[in-house]
């Protein structure tokens, strides 16, 4: 058995759904379990509708809901899914009216309303393919942390093992339920996670992530077009790339697959003949230093300094306790005896964080920064990599440097205005001549 996950762009229209159906039917002999995201931008639209409802704009919310229903009818009615759509939107309309009355949007309510995207798309795709449908909420069990629930693996694996799978089975990604049956979601990008959870639980031969790109590329095409396709890489490399901005793969996706040593393939639903990227526990042997350049935009750089804390015990602890209290994750860190530089990608609580930090240190905040990471297993083994990196970037002001403990990630911060030049210079340095066994 294999698991095939299709993202929102892969099921956004009647034409896209037909492509998915053909891809899946071609693999019927492998008894695929198909995990689908919501159609197009449905999740964003549902959140917008919920926000309108709780802010007293009930009629506007219902108008937007009707537009979303029309979109689903337009692209799914050709497959005979009209009754499914009407049933779900009737329930959605009742939920929206309830939110308008309450005037409050709780995490539990967010999960309830956003779940409809995958509940709809999975039923529609199942009808289009003529496949068995399974409600993910009946097989994925999570804790009660709404909007970012964590799977409870023993209960989930027990349910997966007891499930009667069809020759082709379709289920929604992203959604799950608590032990009590209350709807939860796995966080944005959680459809990839669903595919990995299911794949690990059933012992799949491989997990395929179908998207709208040819696989992992040597650079972000939105920053620098024309990157090479990476044919294969290690789980560790993929995780580093995913965390530092490669949106092809959700960072948590690889975790269940790593534990079961199940290969993950990144494939293009618009170009199914392309071999994509194969991710395995151990990457291929290659002389190439790096596999890709990852980027994160809209980063905030925080510089914290205090001569009073020279040699003082607990300086770092005090800093990170502040970020912890405000539930703000830190991406990269560089330290010296009396100063700490760190980056965050969510600055929503930056004012409160800075106010607390200034009780014991001087704080400087720099907005509109970007993280650039050179990622590859061979970075830790080859001499002179840093010299090559900083030689390539000699004309760019680097604000911060950090190397991960794994030594497979050399990262630094530049002004966002310098991002394209930085990526272009690094790409020229490390990917002009490449190993044809690993890159195309």
| CATH number of the domain residue 411 falls in | 3.30.2130.10
Contact 219, 227 (CB under 8 A): yes
Residue 265 lies in a domain: no
Q: What does the pLDDT look like over 199-211, one tens digit per residue? A: 999 999 999 999 8
For the segment 63-106, what is each residue's pLDDT rounded down to a tens digit? 999 999 999 999 999 999 999 999 999 999 999 999 999 999 99
The alpha helices in 213-310, defined as continuous H runs, are 235-243, 254-260
Other C-beta atoms lying within 10 Å of the C-beta of residue 366? 16
Structural domain total, the chain: 2
Whole-angstrom distance, CA of residue 414 vs CA of residue 222: 17
Taking the C-alpha atoms of residue 114 and residue 112, their distance in angstroms, rounded to an integer, is 6
Residue 287's pLDDT is 87
52 contacts 114 by C-beta, under 8 angstroms: no
Are 92 and 113 within 8 A, CB to CB?
yes
b vs e for 317-353, b when ≥16 Cβ sit within 10 Å of the residue's Cβ?
A: ebbeebbeeeebeebbebeeebbbbbbbbebeebeeb
Which one of 177, 212, 247 terminates a domain? Answer: 212
In a domain, 88, yes or no: yes
pLDDT at 236: 86
What CATH number is associated with residue 42?
Answer: 3.40.1160.10
Helices and strands (DSSP H and E) totals, the chain: 13, 17
183 and 36 in a single domain? The answer is yes
Last residue of a domain, one of 181, 212, 243: 212
β-strands 409-415, 362-375 pairing: antiparallel
32 in a domain, yes or no?
yes
Residues 205 and 298 in one domain: no
Q: Are residues 187 and 313 in the same domain?
A: no
**Who's near 310: CB < 8 A, 6+ residues apart?**
337, 338
Residues 201 and 323 reside in one and the same domain = no
According to the model, what pLDDT value does residue 48 have?
97
Task: Point out the domain boundary residue: 185, 212, 239.
Answer: 212
Give the neighbor-by-neighbor strand order of the sheet with 183-185. Answer: 141-142, 175-178, 183-185
57 within a domain of the structure (yes/no): yes
List the beta bridge partners of residue 366: 301
Averaged pLDDT of the chain? 92
Sequence-ordered list of residues with C-beta below 8 angstroms from that of 219, at least 6 positions apart, any chain: 227, 292, 293, 295, 423, 427, 431
Q: Is residue 224 part of a domain?
A: no
Predicted pLDDT at 381: 81
Regarding whether 303 and 189 lie in a shared domain, the answer is no
State the pLDDT at residue 137: 98
Q: Which residues of the chain have pLDDT under 70?
A: 245-247, 251-252, 309-312, 337, 404-406
CA pair distance 367, 344, nearest whole angstrom: 10
**Which DSSP string corresponds to 53-89?**
HHTT-HHHHHHHHHHHHHHHHHHHGGGT-HHHHHHHH
Q: Same domain, yes or no, for 137 and 19?
A: yes
- Decide: 197 and 256 in contact? Cβ < 8 Å: yes
Q: Is residue 313 part of a domain?
A: yes
Q: For residue 311, is it within any domain?
A: yes
**Residue 307: count of CB within 10 angstroms of its CB:** 10
Cβ atoms within 10 Å, residue 388 = 16
Range of the domain at 376: 292-431
Q: What pLDDT score was predicted for residue 240?
A: 84
């Amino acid at each position: 058995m294999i698991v095939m996950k299709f993202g929102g762009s892969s099921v956004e229209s009647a034409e896209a759904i037909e492509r998915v159906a053909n891809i899946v039917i071609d693999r019927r002999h492998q008894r695929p379990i198909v995990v689908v995201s919501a159609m197009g931008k449905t999740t964003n639209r549902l959140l917008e509708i919920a926000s309108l409802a709780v802010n007293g704009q009930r009629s506007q919310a219902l108008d937007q809901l009707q537009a979303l229903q029309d979109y689903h009818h337009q692209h799914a009615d050709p497959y005979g899914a009209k009754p499914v759509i009407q049933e779900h939107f009737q329930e959605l309309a009742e939920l929206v009216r309830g939110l308008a009355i309450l005037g409050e949007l709780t995490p539990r309510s967010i999960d309830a309303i956003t779940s409809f995207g995958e509940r709809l798309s999975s039923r529609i795709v199942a009808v289009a393919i003529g496949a068995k449908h399974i409600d993910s909420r009946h097989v994925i069990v999570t804790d009660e942390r709404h909007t970012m629930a964590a799977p409870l693996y023993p209960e989930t694996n027990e349910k997966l093992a007891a499930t009667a799978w069809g020759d082709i089975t379709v289920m929604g990604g992203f959604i799950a339920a608590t032990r009590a049956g209350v709807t939860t979601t796995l966080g944005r990008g959680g459809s990839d996670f669903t595919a990995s959870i299911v794949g690990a639980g059933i012992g799949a031969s491989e997990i395929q992530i179908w998207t709208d790109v040819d696989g992992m590329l040597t650079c972000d095409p939105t920053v620098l077009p024309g990157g090479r396709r990476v044919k294969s890489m290690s789980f560790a490399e993929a995780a580093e790339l995913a965390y530092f901005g490669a949106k092809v793969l959700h960072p948590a996706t690889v975790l269940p697959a790593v534990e079961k040593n199940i290969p993950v393939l990144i494939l293009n639903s618009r170009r199914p003949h392309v071999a994509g990227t194969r991710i395995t526990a151990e990457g291929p042997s290659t002389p190439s230093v790096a596999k890709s350049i990852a980027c994160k935009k809209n980063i905030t750089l925080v510089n914290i300094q205090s001569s009073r804390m020279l040699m003082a015990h607990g300086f770092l602890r005090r800093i990170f306790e502040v970020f912890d209290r405000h539930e703000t994750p830190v991406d990269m860190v560089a330290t010296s005896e009396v100063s700490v530089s760190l980056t965050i990608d969510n600055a929503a609580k930056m004012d409160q964080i800075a106010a607390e930090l200034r009780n014991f240190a001087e704080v400087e905040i720099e907005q509109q920064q970007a993280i650039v990471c050179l990622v590859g297993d061979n970075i830790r083994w080859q001499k002179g990599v840093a010299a090559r990196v900083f030689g390539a970037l000699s004309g760019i002001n680097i604000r911060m440097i950090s190397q991960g403990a794994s030594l497979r990630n050399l990262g630094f911060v530049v002004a966002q205005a310098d991002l394209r030049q930085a990526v272009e210079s690094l790409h020229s340095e490390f990917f002009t001549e490449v190993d044809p066994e690993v890159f195309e």
